[in-house]
Amino acid sequence: MTDTATVTRTPRAATLRKQEAILAEAERQFARFGFEGVSLDSIAAVLDLSRQNLLYHWPSKEELYRAVLDSVMGEWMASMNAITEADEPEAAIQAYVSAKLRFSRDRPSGNAVFTREIMAGAPRYADVLRVQVMPLLHADVARFEGWAAEGLIRRLDFTHLMFLIWSSTQAYADLGPQFSLYMGKPALDDDDFERARKLITGLIWKSLEVSGARD
């Protein structure tokens, strides 16, 4: 029984490792060259795989591309729950900005693939954005509206507030090399991301604080 179990588990683990390696390399290449600039052969060559071996896991470049975006989107959407699941707004802002900056720090290639797709008009992923992202965005905005109705925060245009958070945090992935160049260092480090977190959360919360209202 033990030997049989070992035999059946080992190929599964090896298959998962191979799929992870394929996804990681595909993400790196799609981030750098875009969908049109990447081929299954170019991905397989880096991993020392045959084209047929790669096709066994993903039957087309389109399916592999969507798999990369699914992986990126799954991680990105998990952070969006930080707002709807929070008990109070300041904690929600802290958790959300932290999660978004962590994603920018840890997965810049994933951010780049997603940005390329969006900038092209989402020709291969618009259906997922409509079905998955828009409802979460509406839920986050509704949560802010609820806190505003309770008098816990100022009433702002919360949709554009979300866009502001997205752009300010994602910039540390998309423009990270530019930022580090201006700072005279090879790459942004953990201290840079921590200072960015404090600044962004401070500015966002200041704009929401009831005590800071002037109108």
**Two structure tokens written together for 136:** 């979460």
Domain 68-212: CATH architecture, name and number where available: Orthogonal Bundle (1.10)
Separation CA 110–CA 28 (nearest Å): 8
Tens-level pLDDT at each residue, the chain (215 residues): 445 444 444 458 888 899 999 999 999 999 999 999 999 999 999 999 999 999 999 999 999 999 999 999 988 888 778 898 889 999 999 999 999 999 999 999 999 999 999 999 999 999 999 998 899 999 999 999 999 999 999 999 999 999 999 999 999 999 999 999 999 999 999 999 999 999 999 999 999 999 744 44
Could you write out the DSSP letters of every residue in 65-134? Answer: HHHHHHHHHHHHHHHHHHHHT-SSHHHHHHHHHHHHHHHHHH-HHHHHHHHHHHHTT-TTTHHHIIIIIH
Q: Please state, in angstroms and rounded to a whole number, the distance separating the CA atoms of residues 41 and 139.
A: 42
pTM to 2 decimals? 0.83
Q: What residue ranges do the domains of the chain occupy?
A: 68-212
